Amino acid sequence: MIRSGAAAPAPRAALGSTLPRLLSARAADASGRRVALRYKDRGIWQEFTWQDYLAHARAFGLGLAALGLAPGEKVAILCGNRPEWLYAEVGTLAAGGIAVGVYQDAIAREIGYVIDHADAAYVVAEDQEQLDKVLEVREDLPKVRRIITVDPKGMHRVDDPQVTRFPEVEALGRELDAAHPGRFDDLLLNTAPEDIANIVYTSGTTGSPKGAMLTHRNLINMALTFAEVDPVRPDDQLFSYLPPPWIGEIAMSIATALVFGIPVNFPEEAETARDDGREIGPTVLFGPPRLWEALTSQVQVKLMDTTPFKRAVYRLAMRWGYRAADKRLRRQPLGPADRVLSRLGYLLAFRAVLDDLGMLRIRHAYTGGAALGPDTFRFLRALGLNLKQLYGQTEIAGFSCVHRDGDVRFETVGRPIPGVDLTLSPEGEILERSDSVFLGYYKDPQATRAALQGGWLHTGDAGQLTDDGHLVVIDRLSDVMRLADGTLFSPQFIENKLKFSPFVREAVVVGHGRPYVAAILNIDMPVVGKWAEDRQIAHTTYTDLSQKAGVYDLIAAEVRGANESLPRSARVRRFVLLYKELDADDGELTRTRKVRRRVIAERYAHLIEAMYGASADRIPVRATITYRDGTTAVVETAVRVAEVAGG
């Protein structure tokens, strides 16, 4: 029988356990009084031990049981990066329930879809904003019995019998615990490694999101096997800032933290994440390409504003940094001069840059979730950041391939982690097998059969294997394009080249069945706005700025620069600057900022056709834009189709 006083299992023994059992054992052993969680509240870091963590998860789980949660019922968690997310998650699992993460920035309709599709009986809503979105679609959620709110701010006016406060649920749990002291241990005993722990909804780039069913064993196995490549240290610090429903955050802040007993740190607000992370000094950091692209842009923009002397020092240091990084990427030994100059560049420039980014203590930094452009990857490696590519998907509990230290290459995503079998289909699709592969898609047997046919996980990605076993990910099979003359090209590869520019926020490449490649681009409003102000170019809105002649000239120069490193057949010949930012609320991006190509192709078909017209021209546009608060505005402008010299 599992008791809350059991000793914490050795890492490999964790495979026979469950996530809440790991927490219970962790709180009972010698590490129970060590810090498990930190949360910055009103400018002050609050610390919670493993015993505190267990006490809250225990109270919440028993509170759900007191409210009537039955084994296998779903709890939708609409909460940000804070301790209550983990209390709700692990408490749900301890009570025999299944956790379902919901993205906070989703609109009410999207939230309603996930809650209803998952058959959630309970919803945890962080604050009044999230509660309002749930209540907006409540009539479409007949299976929801209770909504539990976390942040009390603004809730004093809520008088709804279906709404309960988080502390009230914990109080119910403590009452049940006092009346039945063995109930929690009985609940833990009834959970098994093969039980579903999470239903994680995919990004939905090609349709409605699908719910991937992941077991305790899936997640624990992933944490263990990944750590065989990059061992976890007792003094490691995790920083939780990514959306909690994303598999990468679940894999790190829940599975890895519980298996190895390392602290999870939460920022006070999303807006303060960089400063809060700098105070914590995380040693391990996982981020999607948009994080690394933003950091690269941030460094480049700051360089524009510094003194000529500092710019000269930085550029000299970058020359040394690139030389050392390139040799390491080519697995060539560094000579004494290279080592001295690389160290000098670090001391003169890069140490201050990494400190400003909050990454001075990073041992391992990872990029995943989508392809990162080689220019961005090479740039950050030159700064001295130990950035490594990894590859995986929700359906394999997060990660399946990663670079090893000393064997990093910007064109690959590394080799499979231990326990992962990887091969390619005759069509070039990446196929995987592992104990971390999911059970299937919730309520979608047809999609499950397609994903798991032949005993392999069919990833839907096109790839190649190098002679020494590195995986090269080309693109989504469905996204690889062919020009009219039959030439194949990867739009994602070209887009990453374009987004290396600090002035380009987003890029969507088109050209399937066409004579040449073209692109729809978003400018980066703060960066381009600063550039325009420095040159006294007056502007008002995003739409106004994006259509300025000087801005078009600026972006054309950036596109020409990207084209120089592309094969002639893949170079961008024409582009348009979109009059609005691509937005997840408009269905143009997923909640993880992946482009929905089908939506873009349909919505901006007139602009795409214009880029393949007889000559570049201005296209009149009248469109309705929806803002975050639900208000709308009509935009009328003329979008210019720009020709790229030498494209």
Q: What is the CATH number of the domain that holds 604?
A: 3.30.300.30
Rounded to whole angstroms, the Cα distance separating 586 from 308 reads: 43
From 282, 311, 326, the end of a domain falls on 282
In the structure, what pLDDT confidence band is assigned to residue 2 with cuts at 50, 70 and 90? Answer: very low
Please state the three-class secondary structure of 528-572 as a single string.
Answer: HHHHHHHCCCCCCCHHHHHCCHHHHHHHHHHHHHHHCCCCHHHCE
Per-position DSSP letters for 595-635, written without gaps between them: B-HHHHHHHTHHHHHHHTSSS--EEEEEEEEE-TTS-EEEE
Residue-level pLDDT at 615: 63
Q: What does the block give as tokens for 543?
A: 């739409």
If one counts the domains in the chain, the total is 2
The pLDDT tens digits for 512-548 are 999 999 999 999 999 999 999 989 999 998 999 999 9
Rounded to whole angstroms, the Cα distance separating 568 from 500 reads: 19
Pair 639, 576: CB distance under 8 Å? yes
Pair 566, 489: CB distance under 8 Å? no
The pLDDT tens digits for 262-286 are 999 999 998 898 889 989 999 999 9
DSSP 427: T
Assess if residue 428 is contained within a domain. no
Assess if residue 65 is contained within a domain. yes
Q: Of 205, 312, 267, 345, which is closest to residue 40 (Cα–Cα)?
A: 267
Q: Which domain holds residue 175?
A: 11-282
Assess if residue 223 is contained within a domain. yes
Residue-level pLDDT at 4: 37
35 by DSSP, 3-state: which?
strand
Assess if residue 471 is contained within a domain. no
Assess if residue 404 is contained within a domain. no
From 282, 300, 318, the end of a domain falls on 282
Residue-level pLDDT at 519: 97
Assess if residue 451 is contained within a domain. no
What amino acid is encoded at 493 in this protein?
F
pLDDT score of 614 more than 80: no
The pLDDT tens digits for 409-438 are 888 899 999 999 999 999 889 999 999 999
From 231, 264, 282, the end of a domain falls on 282
Q: What is the CATH number of the domain that holds 121?
A: 3.40.50.980
| Phi and psi at residue 168, to the nearest 5° | -70, -35
In the structure, what pLDDT confidence band is assigned to residue 6 with cuts at 50, 70 and 90? Answer: very low
Q: At what angle do helices 83-94 and 50-67 cross, to 10 degrees?
A: 60
Rounded to whole angstroms, the Cα distance separating 117 from 442 reads: 9
Supply the mean pLDDT for the chain.
91
Residues in the chain: 647
Burial grade of 540 (CB within 10 A; 0-12, 13-18, 19 or more) = exposed
Assess if residue 169 is contained within a domain. yes
Q: Are strands 481-482 and 618-626 parallel, antiparallel or unpaired?
A: unpaired
Rounded to whole angstroms, the Cα distance separating 40 from 275 reads: 11
Assess if residue 317 is contained within a domain. no
Rounded to whole angstroms, the Cα distance separating 85 from 103 reads: 12
- How many angstroms separate the Cα of 42 from the Cα of each of 272, 536, 616? 11, 39, 54
DSSP 589: B
Euclidean distance between the first and the last CA atom of the chain, given in angstroms as a whole number: 69
Q: What is the pTM of this model?
A: 0.84
The pLDDT tens digits for 206-246 are 567 899 999 999 999 999 999 999 999 989 999 999 999 99
